[in-house]
Amino acid sequence: QVQLVESGGGLVQTGGSLRLSCTASAPITGSYAVGWFRQAPGKEHEFVAALRRPNGATYYGDSVKGRFAVSRDNAKNAVYLQMNSLKPEDTAVYYCARLVKPTSSTIRDSHRYESWGQGTQVTVSS
């Protein structure tokens, strides 16, 4: 029944920054993770980042380490993705999704996630 909505995408030049938001329709209890994935035209979902609840552990894809950061606002049922030093290869539709009872082996696997949002477009110009 949980619905996730992404927002914050847009057009930015190489080296610029954007902050994406993932907002849940209601609080989620128990052990779960919110993951960020991206999909470029004609490609499969790529793992970007994840935040595990309730312990707050974070995970990042190799291509974004050191540039992106995931954070949370519990009061707003929201998870954010701060994207810095953006590159043209970051251009994609960005999605957030939920993983129930995450483990180290599943937290990066898009096939294990559910409650996918509609996505928000990020375009980085050169």
For every one of its 126 residues, what pLDDT tens digit does the chain have, with 9 covering 90 and above? Answer: 789 999 999 999 999 999 999 999 988 888 999 999 999 999 999 999 999 998 999 999 999 999 999 999 988 999 999 999 999 999 999 999 999 999 999 999 999 999 999 999 999 999
Q: What angle do CA 52, 108, 24 make, to 5 degrees?
A: 45
**Bridge partners for 60 per DSSP:** 49
Strands 18-24 and 58-60: unpaired
Quote the CA–CA distance of 73 and 77 in Å, as a whole number: 6
What is the maximal distance between C-alpha atoms in the chain?
43
